Structure 1
Amino acid sequence: MEPTNVTRNGPQTHGALPLNSLEQLVDLAKGQPPERQHGLLIGVADLYRSTGGRDRAPQALGDAFIALVRVVEADIRQALSERLADADWVPVALVRMLAADAIEIARPVIAASPLLQDDDLLTLLAEASLDHRIQVALRPGLGAAVARAIISADDPTVLTALASNRTAALGAEGMSRLVSRSRELAALRAPLARHPQMTPELGARLYQWVGEALRQAIMDRFTLDPARLAEAAHAAAQETAPADVAAARLTAKLQASDQLRPATLIRALREDRLEVFIHALSRLARLDLDQVRRALRADTARPLFLACTAAGLDRAAFPAVLNEVRRMNNGFPHDPDGGDWRLAHRSAAQAAYEFQLLMAPEDSHPV
């Protein structure tokens, strides 16, 4: 490729880079229209590659390349990310910068860049947004160390993405932990049932708590004894978690003695007793227990806010309640609206009515 010059009129061919300093190059890009910025950036990228790329190009030129990317428009950075996604000649620092940018810009390099190492991906898992973490989990050929970090973090959405990644190095231990987690997290079941690293032993465990369609898929894939599988599934269905039984009994006893009050919700959270909170909330608000559980797994905090209002909890106490619930519930429910769920005041009855509308099955008729 022929070297490209950069002048104050944009990229041209033949000759050397006439700018005297990095500051001049960056100043040239600032305030330019997008098409001029794009041409300038492509010119510097081509020059950097033609002079040997990250192995032999002058350090000053690499610094200029990175600094220029920092000041161009977001849509230009996105186009550059798509163009350089699988390139091995670009500065590593540039790839790291793009990977930490807005997710639309970051996605191509997270998915494909050969220059991102496990340490870079672990940094994204620790510091970047949920969308970035999901993209890391979906990265083809994901390494074992990164997969272990995702499993240990136990974020339901990121775990589901990891289970869908058929080329991730999960290993026997990782697969076992995902299968165990799928007992409570239903979204894991379908990708795990068809995962290439699934074994007959793990398939038999998974069989115990999946639906009929996935049971058939497991049976078709592995030679398993149907009678033993049916017996194990029946035993699993009869099991009830001791914490759930104890919480149900405690809240029933409190209600019978007229001691079940909104303050019970606060006390349960302070004592790290999430099951007691769930059962108390269901009884106080007179809401279906399964719907309350779904509210705690929702992608918005609004259903939980309505349930707490229906239970008589002061609206001023809800932000603290939400923080405590999320602390014990793997970050759920999410709060993407940033408080927009706190609408006008409503009565307990109105809140219960709105909650039931929100949590009604999709195929039900509106009230």
Structure 2
Amino acid sequence: MTSALPLQTFRPSPPASAVSATDLVALARSKATDDRERLLYGIAAMCDSLPPGQEASPILTEVFMTLARQAERDIRKSLSESLATATWAPVALVHMLALDEIEIARPLIANSPLLKDADLIRILIEATIEHQIEVARRPTLSSTVSDAIIDRGEPATLTALASNRTADISEDGLHRLVDHARRIAALRAPLTRHPRLNDALASELYAWVGQALRQAISERFRVDEAFMQRAVNEATAAAHPAGTTAASVVDDGYSEREKMERRLIDKLQGAGQLRPGFLVRAIREKKLSLFENGMAALIGVPVTTIRTAVAAANPDSLFLACTAAGIDRAVFPAVLEEIRKLTGGSPGHTAEARWSMLTINAASAAKEFKATVSA
């Protein structure tokens, strides 16, 4: 096997113009492995000599791609390392090498400025778990890619993302990571140290970590130890509901589980973190009661009002409530479908439904919803 050429040969000391077209034609006619490698690096030198912002010709790019596909593993690895920070490289070549085996792909996934969000998401979908982890570790990862990683829910990739201090993770995304920490123990330590962890999320995370991490949370945040211990007890009760009986329903008509949900919503709302994305996630996770209580808190109506809208003959009232809470109309059909799966078909499908024809802002939707339910 031919050994990889040293990196400095990729940007040779003689000027690139010294690589003549005649030499390249002669190398292209040769079948010798060494000549094919010299041709590959000769074309690379030509590309490297282009003025900033100028792209190589399509024919030159295609020749470069063909040679790279035929190159041995060590050559592809050396090429990947050399192109890791290049802005002039053929984009198709970078995409190809980023989907190659992980040792070849790693430098490009970690550094290439030519890999955009859509390319990184493609790697998450098409490549191996090792490639996905490398995407999650990429410096200054965008919130779009972070959300895609969180949506996939792969434990190893989530843990890599939680450990990436430069990744842009939205408040909703961080909340979802904390929620994943209930089942993924490896997430808990990096989340405890995460620079964007706040009081509300620390309180939620406290319930799922061991004693050492609880101490770390207590040292970093001002916490009410008694309150935290109650949260641990509640989490334990929720995780072991086998002993739940009718007696667990308290006098005000709410189950202990729902009371815990209401306390969580109160904490989030008090911290300014109760947002539409939380409601959408609750439905995706089949937590209808959490959705209803969160919706009621965001709009400022009793939860029974939301449940009336959920059980209605058509989705109009629920659409108004979702719009008032800030859920985008483009997301509403998916939310409606999930709710119907959880309720056995409610809200109904009457012909009088007009929600799909409504164009209304959040404030007007809130006013109309309250007027509708009070009528």
TM-score range normalised by the length of the shorter chain: 0.5 to 0.7
- After superposition, what is the alpha-carbon deviation per residue over 1:277-298, rounded to whole angstroms, capped at 9, x for unaligned? xxxxxxxxxxxxxxxxxxxxxx
Distance 1:146 1:75 in 2: 30
- The answer for the alignment partner of 1:145 in structure 2 is 144
Aligned to 2:33: 32
For residue 209 of structure 2, give the secondary structure of its aligned residue in structure 1: coil
| 1:78 and 1:105 in contact (8 A); partners too | yes
CA-CA distance at 1:160 after TM superposition: 1.3
CA distance in 1, matches of 2:65, 2:156: 33
Return closer, same or farther for 1:177/1:133 CA change in 2, 3 Å cut-off: same
2:56 is aligned to 57
Distance 1:202 1:25 in 2: 62
Residue 186 (structure 1) aligns with: 185
Indicate how the Cα distance of structure 1 residues 214 and 61 shifts in structure 2: closer, same or farther if over 3 A, else same. same
Deviation at 1:176, TM superposition (A): 0.3
Q: CA deviation at 1:187?
A: 0.8
Per-residue displacement from partner, 1:117-173 (whole Å, max 9, x unpaired)? 011011111111111111111111111111111111111121111111111111100
Deviation, structure 1 residue 228: 1.5
Q: Is the 8 A contact 2:27 2:38 kept in 1?
A: no
Distance across 1 between alignment mates of 2:244 and 2:152:
28
The equivalent residue for 2:156 is 157
Alignment of 1:327-338 (within 5 A): none
* Native 8 Å contact 1:100 1:106 kept in 2: yes
What code does the residue aligned with 1:165 have? N
CA distance in 2: counterparts of 1:213 and 1:54, whole angstroms: 53
What is residue 67 of structure 2 aligned with on the other side?
68
Give the CA deviation at 1:2: 4.4
- SS of the residue aligned with 1:238? helix
Indicate whether 1:202 and 2:201 are aligned.
yes
Q: CA deviation at 1:46?
A: 1.3
The answer to whether 1:15 aligns with 2:20 is: yes
How does the TM-score come out when normalised to structure 2? 0.57
CA distance in 1 between partners of 2:129 and 2:173 (Å): 21
Evaluate the alpha carbon distance shift between residue 131 and residue 54 of structure 1 in structure 2; reply closer, same or farther with a 3 A threshold.
farther
3-state SS, counterpart of residue 239 of structure 2:
coil
Is 1:84 matched with 2:89? no
Q: Report % sequence identity.
A: 47
One-letter code aligned to 2:21: A
State the 1:15 CA deviation. 3.2
SS in 2 for 1:90: coil
Give matches, 1:145-294, under 5 Å: 145-242=144-241
Whether the 8 Å CA contact 1:53–1:90 is kept in 2: the answer is no
Cα separation, partners in 2 of 1:112 and 1:223, compared to 1, 3 Å: same
Q: What number of residue pairs does the alignment pair up?
A: 233
- Report the CA distance shift for 1:89/1:237 in structure 2 as closer, same or farther (over 3 A): same
- Sort the Cα spacing of 1:92 and 1:56 in 2 relative to 1 into closer, same or farther, 3 A: closer
User: What is aligned with 1:106?
Assistant: 105
Q: Which residue does 2:299 correspond to in 1?
A: none
Q: Structure 1: how far apart are the matches of 2:178 and 2:137?
A: 18
Report the CA distance shift for 1:243/1:128 in structure 2 as closer, same or farther (over 3 A).
farther
- Whether 1:47 and 2:46 are equivalent positions in the alignment is yes
Number of the residue aligned with 1:129: 128
- Verify the 8 A CA contact 1:49 1:57 in the aligned structure 2: no
Q: CA deviation at 1:114?
A: 0.6
Q: Secondary structure at the match of 2:182?
A: coil
Provide the C-alpha distance between the structure 2 equivalents of 1:200 and 1:136, rounded to a whole number of angstroms: 29
Any conservation in 1 of the 2:27–2:36 contact (CA below 8 Å)? no
- 1:346 is matched with none
Q: Is the 8 A contact 1:25 1:68 kept in 2?
A: no
> Residue 26 of structure 1 contacts residue 67 of structure 1 at CA under 8 Å; is this kept in 2?
no
Q: Distance in 2 between matches of 1:196 and 1:31?
A: 55
Q: Is the 8 A contact 1:203 1:218 kept in 2?
A: yes
State the one-letter code of the partner of 1:16.
A
Instruction: Quote the Cα distance in structure 2 between the aligned partners of 1:243 and 1:195.
Output: 34
- Answer whether contact 2:55 2:88 (CA < 8 A) is retained: no
Asked if the contact 2:28–2:36 (Cα under 8 Å) also holds between the matched residues in 1, the reply is: no
Q: Deviations over 1:47-102 (max 9, x none)?
A: 11113366243332222222211111111111111121111111111111110111
Distance in 2 of aligned mates of 1:63 and 1:54: 19
Letter in 1 for 2:152: A
Aligned-partner residue type, residue 240 of structure 1 = A
Determine helix, strand or coil for the equivalent of 2:217. Answer: helix
**CA offset digits 1:283-317 (Å, max 9, x no partner):** xxxxxxxxxxxxxxxxxxxxxxxxxxxxxxxxxxx
Q: In 1, distance between residues paired with 2:194 and 2:70? A: 43
- Structure 1 match to 2:301: none
Paired with 2:154 and 2:48, the residues of 1 have a C-alpha distance of 40
Report the TM-score, using the length of structure 1 for normalisation: 0.58
Q: Which amino acid aligns with 2:74?
A: D
C-alpha separation between the residues in 2 aligned to 1:204 and 1:26? Answer: 65
Paired residue for 2:259?
none
For the structure 1 residues 51 and 241, does the alpha-carbon distance in structure 2 shift closer, same or farther, using more than 3 Å as the test?
Answer: same
Residue segments in structure 1 that go unaligned for 5+ positions in a row: 6-12, 247-367
RMSD: 2.5
Indicate the SS of the match to 1:55. Answer: coil
